[in-house]
Amino acid sequence: MKEVGTMQLPNPCTLCPRACRADRAHGQRGFCGADGTLRVARAALHHWEEPCLSGDPNAATGSGTVFFSNCALRCCYCQNYPISQGDVGKEITVERLTEIFLALQKSGAKNLNLVTATQYLPWALPALDAARAAGFALPVVYNTGGYETLETVKALADYVDIWLADVKYASPDLATELSAARDYPAVAEAALRQMLRQTGAPVYDADGYLQKGVIVRHLALPGHTDDSFAVLALLARIRNEEGVPFIPSLMSQFTPFYKAAEHNLGRRITTYEYRKVIDEAVRLGLTDGYMQEKSSAREEYTPPFDLEGV
């Protein structure tokens, strides 16, 4: 193995559930697209996360968000596809990533939000260690598509305060078609249960910003309300079986980006479809969280990936 900071880059790579076994240490790209270098596409205050993370979108603060390049999922509708499946990003060092973390804290960020970081954990963790040694003290948010191994979740126990995790699908067939990940439902369920066990119930500061806990996002897709119902039923079951409250976040912002139209996703979700999903969440008692307004399905909610802050 090639050692990087306090964590080793597995050779062959098994950091994510793909376990693609790429020789990244010698430059081979994994299924995710990452090789043996660290790449970041944007680092800036972000105002459009859940209010307990970003606060008032008109305020001069926000979530200190670092968008990492590449991704282990291959979602055909990804709104961040220029960085997740394209080549957008800049190669940087652990030292530079440490500086970015500290700069975001200095800029007034309420938390540090790591977006799709798993393929770069051998760099991100030593950067967090170095930042903490230099006075970094923000809550760390791990923003993930939910496709994580138990080993990765456990390895992050001393680093992650807040999990911001998707549960995208209940159907293996749908997960295969839209994200090329048939095992997604089982993997995401196991990962979420571990996140809850490690993190516990939500904890807020005096201003209402989340300091610790789990936010579970589900993006309702047009034409797939039945799968959304199945996801909500799964979340209700997990909540009851684990006995740990989490913050549900239902999202309506689907926009037909990238290759969505090739998979019968060439339109936005209707008000009727989204209302059905909300009603089902209410019926299941998944109400202590967020329900996105339909107006959120707009392109401007996707930030420009122009290497800002990198």
Q: What is the mean pLDDT of residues 114-132?
A: 98
Q: Indicate the DSSP class of residue 138.
A: P
Q: Which domains are seen in the chain, by residue range?
A: 39-301 (3.20.20.70)
Q: What is the mean pLDDT of residues 220-227?
A: 98
| Confidence (pLDDT) at 2 | 40
pLDDT at 100 over 90: yes
Contact predicate 175/202, CB 8 Å: no
For residue 4, name the pLDDT band (cuts at 50, 70, 90).
very low
| 7-17 residues labelled b (16+ CB within 10 A) or e (exposed) | bebbbebbbbb
The region of weakest confidence among 57-61, 84-88, 220-224, 268-272 is: 57-61
Quick check: pTM over 0.85?
Answer: yes
| Confidence (pLDDT) at 8 | 81
| Confidence (pLDDT) at 155 | 96
With a CB cutoff of 8 Å and minimum separation 6, the contacts of 27 are 35, 36
